[in-house]
Amino acid sequence: MKVLTIGSMNIDHVYSVDHIVQPGETLTTGSMNIYLGGKGINQSMAVAKAGAEVYHSGMIGKDGTLFLEACKEYGVNSDYIRKINEKTGHTIIQVDKNAQNCILLYGGANQCLTEEFVDEVLSHFEKDDILLLQNEVNLLPYIIDKAYEMGMQIALNPSPFDDKLHACDLSKISIFLLNEIEGGQITGETEPAAILDKLQELYPEARIVLTLGKDGAVYAHKDERYEQPIFKVQAVDTTAAGDTFTGYFLAGLIDGMAVPDILRMSAKASSIAVTRPGAVQSIPYRSEVEEALK
């Protein structure tokens, strides 16, 4: 079983700030670093670092060659990444003294997928392979419909949540991996238990992983429910914590692990990621996670 991510690649410009800049304010920053990120590639890297076979697909500009090198370094297949005449997606990320962030996202090449490109990529995959999606590329409704027709299992991290997701047929999703805010936006509920109840009512066959920040994560599938607290650490940068969780969760499922063990491994992986700056580079390898769990 292979994992294919059709997802974003962003060059993250990360500024350390005292507080998140307010409307009308000019704020002098501390350090500025450039990292490889984007929810799509972060999640592909997490799947790979957790030990599963993963293919990443998406678009970059001429300024995006570093992503191809990183794929090689971390063991992500990059055969279906296309270079086009556009700027690679980028972000401006502020990280405050409490390690909280806020992100401005310029889609660039991530928003240039075509139906012909998607069809070509999907033709290399088959029934039961897993397609991992986020909401940082265009054509999501088309991609979901095509992959569903093929019988692929679709895992969706509906992040960042926006109106475009309303055009997607979410009944075709096998696995939702989302945070409380996204869960609230889909269901109209605010309490985690109510969000889970509503998601299960809407999508009774789907597995649901709801992350709750400092309150950990909860999982629901049919009659099963599990809770996973966080591992407390001194965070320096929470960017890609959710992506790490998502990648590790999928890799654990592919390994056939029991769900409580997958949740524990994913939470530990995220707790390590937040102790390091950046996105792709902050995601730990499986060996580090297993060592830390001992």
Q: Which tokens hold the place of 132?
A: 């991992």
77 counts as binding ligand RIB under rule CB under 6 A: no
244 counts as binding ligand RIB under rule CB under 6 A: no
Residues 196, 222 contacting (CB under 8 angstroms): no
Residues 9, 38 contacting (CB under 8 angstroms): yes
DSSP string, 191-210: SHHHHHHHHHHHSTT-EEEE
Which residue of the set 96, 128, 243, 255 is catalytic? 243
Angle made by CA atoms 154, 157, 163, in degrees to the nearest 5: 105
H helices present in 75-111, as ranges: none
Cα separation, 112 vs 83, in Å, equals 11
Residues 148, 272 contacting (CB under 8 angstroms): no
Which range, of 125-133, 164-172, 240-248, 254-262, touches ligand RIB by CB under 6 A?
240-248
Nearer to ligand RIB, 95 or 122 (CB): 95
Residues 104-133, interacting with ligand RIB (CB under 6 A): 105
Answer for which of 5, 16, 42, 246 binds ligand RIB (CB under 6 A) is 42
179 counts as binding ligand RIB under rule CB under 6 A: no
Answer for which of 20, 103, 194, 292 binds ligand RIB (CB under 6 A) is 103
Is residue 163 part of the annotated active site? The answer reads no
78 counts as binding ligand RIB under rule CB under 6 A: no
Nearer to ligand RIB, 51 or 160 (CB): 160
Cα separation, 264 vs 273, in Å, equals 14
Active site residues: 243
Binding site for ligand RIB (CB under 6 A): 8, 10, 12, 37-39, 42, 91, 103, 105, 136, 239-240, 242-243, 279
